[in-house]
Amino acid sequence: MKGVIQASRFAHFLYKWHGLNQPQTGSSARERVIDQLQGYGMSYAELEARVLPARIADYEYGELDRLCEVGQLVWQGLERLSSVDGVIALYRPENLPKLAWISGLLPGSRYIALRNLLAEGACDFEQILKALGGFPPQALAVVWDLVWAGEVSNRRLLALQALQAEQVKLRRTRASQRGRRMVWPRQMNRPTGSVGEWFLLAGPKQGFAPQPERDRSMAAQLLQRWGIVGQRCLVREKAPSFSRLEYVFQELESAGEAIGGQFVEQLGPSQYASAAALETLGNVSAEDRAWMLAATDPANPYGCILPWPNVSALQKSPQRVVAARVILRDGRPIGYLSARGNDLTTFNASSTDVNGDAAALVEVLTRSARPGQPTLLRSVDGQEPGRSDLAGLLHDSGFLASRQGYIFRV
């Protein structure tokens, strides 16, 4: 491969590098995906619902919990997003000391008491409650505070699953007006989200690897995740500065494990790639197919490595937020669905549709509908769907006007 490629081609490369063009099945597919995503922070709900199913054709909800239960995975909380969800990172146990990240310890006597308890070994919630005292909800809040600070984890993901299941059940309960609270199985006598064994991720007995080893591991992980690494790739990473990692990349280049150069526009002045990535990049060619993925997916470089296209004053600026989705065609963003899922922003998809972007965009929207889960558009580019440039295409593709907006059912 010669010359510097356009940014859109890099987006197309990531689509193939992450296997989104051909989702695989079986254990090898799972190992490859985990190796690529290791250490990257994403919403747990998004991981289960969109990111993993997009890569693993036979993925089933809850598989991550089973992998944690048998000791093949460890998870770390990085940020609280709501009372039932947060940003987590996955690690293979042997890589946890080399890749996990803790910015600082939370101050407070109850946090210190919990750290001291877990420093002696993993505990269930009953043991934690006995040591901390007080009411169960308050004790559980202390646990989850340290979880989202990255200090404490659980042997399983069942506690986080339980919180999300409880929210869904409560929502259904209110909708059906049955007036009673539904609970997670086997948690009748304990707060939701307390199940499982809790343990300390960092401490005297769980120390991190020396910094040089951590830097080498992080550089190798970045190459595995991005294929081609530049300064812009670190925007969403819990990683040292690129200037510090560059010494490691130069060592990898000297050892023949990385290739330095200028490969992709807007990726940064210094870039490093693996031989496999450059081979994949060289085989990326234009195609008409469009695809949808989570806006926070690392395979979507827009809003992170690459800037979003400009939008009109009527449109809301796209953001990499949980539940939002982006629609790409040949590496170019042609549409964006807001976190609510009903507000569509288009890029260059005009009524004339000279290059076919509008038709491709509508086709992806119809393809995203599932039995019992229709596609609903409340607005298109800041206005009612029936007044937008896509109105005719939407109608011809089977969208029907309703009081809520334009809806497509299968």
Hey, what are 388's tokens? Answer: 């937008």
The reported pLDDT for the residue numbered 7 is 87
pLDDT at 172: 46
| Calpha distance 280→16 (Å, rounded) | 8
Three-state secondary structure call for residue 85:
coil
pLDDT digits (tens, 9 = 90+) for 229-249: 999 999 889 899 999 999 999
Coil, strand or helix at 280: helix
Give Cα 294 distance to the centre of its chain: 7
Question: Minimal CA–CA distance to 198: which of 134, 139, 138?
Answer: 139
Dihedral Cα 279, 89, 316, 385, nearest 10 deg: 80
- Which string of DSSP letters, residue by residue, matches 346-396? ESS--SS-TTSHHHHHHHHHHHT-BTTB-EEESEETTB-GGGSTTHHHHHH
Please report which helix (H) or strand (E) contains residue 216, including its range: helix 211-226
Burial class (CB in 10 A: 0-12, 13-18, 19+), 255: exposed
End-to-end CA separation in angstroms for the chain: 44
Quote the Cα angle for 98-102-196, to 5°.
Answer: 90
> Residue 349: what pLDDT?
62
3-class SS letters over 8-30: HHHHHHHHHHCCCCCCECHHHHH
Give me the residues paired with residue 144 across strands.
none
The ranges of the chain with pLDDT < 70 are 1-2, 166-189, 204, 313-314, 349-354
Residues 275-309: tens digit of each pLDDT: 999 999 998 887 778 999 999 999 999 999 999 98
The answer to whether 114 and 143 have CB atoms below 8 angstroms apart is: yes
Predicted pLDDT at 354: 59
